[in-house]
Structure 1
Amino acid sequence: MGRKKIGDPLGEGLVSRIYLAAFPQPRSSYEIARLVVRGESINSSGRILKVAEKFPDLFFLREERVSRHKMRTLIFSNMEPFLLRLSEECGLSSEEANILRGFEANFRKLVGIYLDLTLKHMDPEYLRGNVNAFEDLSTALRLTLYIARLYSSARPQAAEFTFSLMNKTLPVVLDATGISNKEIHEIARNIADMAQQQTLRLYDKIRKTPISSYYKGLFMMLEGFEKYYQALEKSLSPGKDH
């Protein structure tokens, strides 16, 4: 019996797991196999490469010399298929899509951070299960835009105090999900500084995408803080008694 035909390469099957694993940086088929395959990964590296070759629109392949007589093939996910689908599902304008293209390097870095946090704190076997790469990438983007949105819309004192309070009350959750990660905050600040108004619109549109199951509880808590930091921002406005 043949393998099940994949109807949604970004949402199911081995190809989705490979796409997510190879999104942060180029990896060899053996490195990817160690992340996404149960059992002897060394015996699966050839299969990983065949899958990547089968989907040339999803992956870039390039040769790298590792020694005088040995080469290896690196697999790197193409961001464009994800971005095109995101634009369709969220109704992004060409300007908004181009803003995200401009942050491609930082977005790939973010995905690497979120992926490492998931594997370390939540589920070491995560990439070996049923992975929806589109959902996971959308969640990483949505969470980062949420932080950027705080920096864009709240007074600095309100944003800083809100993050401080969250870190004190939810330290384990925040460490595991990246809310307290300094690199994520730095990238989010840059997004907020360079595209302040667009950040607000982007978040409102991208929040329509499904959330990875590991982050649903976090978003419920974050949205619970929404009213709080808005009230705090109002209390810090000029003319208020402090």
Structure 2
Amino acid sequence: MSSAINSFRLDGRIVLITGASSGLGMHFASLLATAGARVAVAARRADKLLSVVDSITRAGGEARALSLDVTDGASVRQCFDELASWGAPDVLVNNAGVTVTRPLLEQTEADFDSVLDTNLKGNWLVATEAARRMVAAGQGGSIINVASILGERVAGGVAPYAISKAGVIQTTKAMALELARHRIRVNALLPGYVVTDLNRDFLHSDAGDKLRVRIPSRRFGEMTDLDGPLLLLASDAGAAMSGSTVAVDGAHLVSSL
């Protein structure tokens, strides 16, 4: 195996993935475990993660479940304290996120707060604590903030979500600037419309088809489309990348539609 291919491996590295009980987070956990990482999966209810841990361990990987409320600084610190029995994380996949879908004039202050608290404040809390642990351990690392193409463009009915993801992109750049001296890379992954169990019915409906034809590639993404970009950002293959935003969207961002 060539050194270039080997550089995508994560053998023995400690990875923490937030929002890992379903969807992209669950998929990322399986992928990174297959690449050799020791995977800690985190969500508000650790019991919802047991099937993820079981799937990884049955496949020969190493995984554990941690309870984490990303909006609560004490919960964030407790999660990293529990992870410390393995060590400081080498990689953070900052994936936890929520949305509220309704027209702007019908959205409430509670809607805004719930989305921004999870997607932006929570992202900052977890990434900052991960960086502190990496620095204290005297090691570098990789922080991957999962944003969205809606951080760089907009769509109707999801204003708080788009606002939060724009903030995540700027958070990524600010952290990359300050953490580079500590050998910590910070990048953002920007998925386009990716089919998951939560949105499958909509994306395969007539309304979803109207959205699909606005994408230059004329297809929705699959979770596996994110595998290569995620491994690039997590591994030594992306050693010179920091402050980058990596869109995986079938050219949607460069389209005017």
Same fold (TM over 0.5): no
Name the structure with the higher strand share: 2
- Which protein shows a greater Rg? 1
RCO (CA 8 Å, sep 6+): is it higher in 1 or 2?
Answer: 1
The TM tier, using the shorter chain, reads: under 0.3
Name the structure with the higher helix share: 1
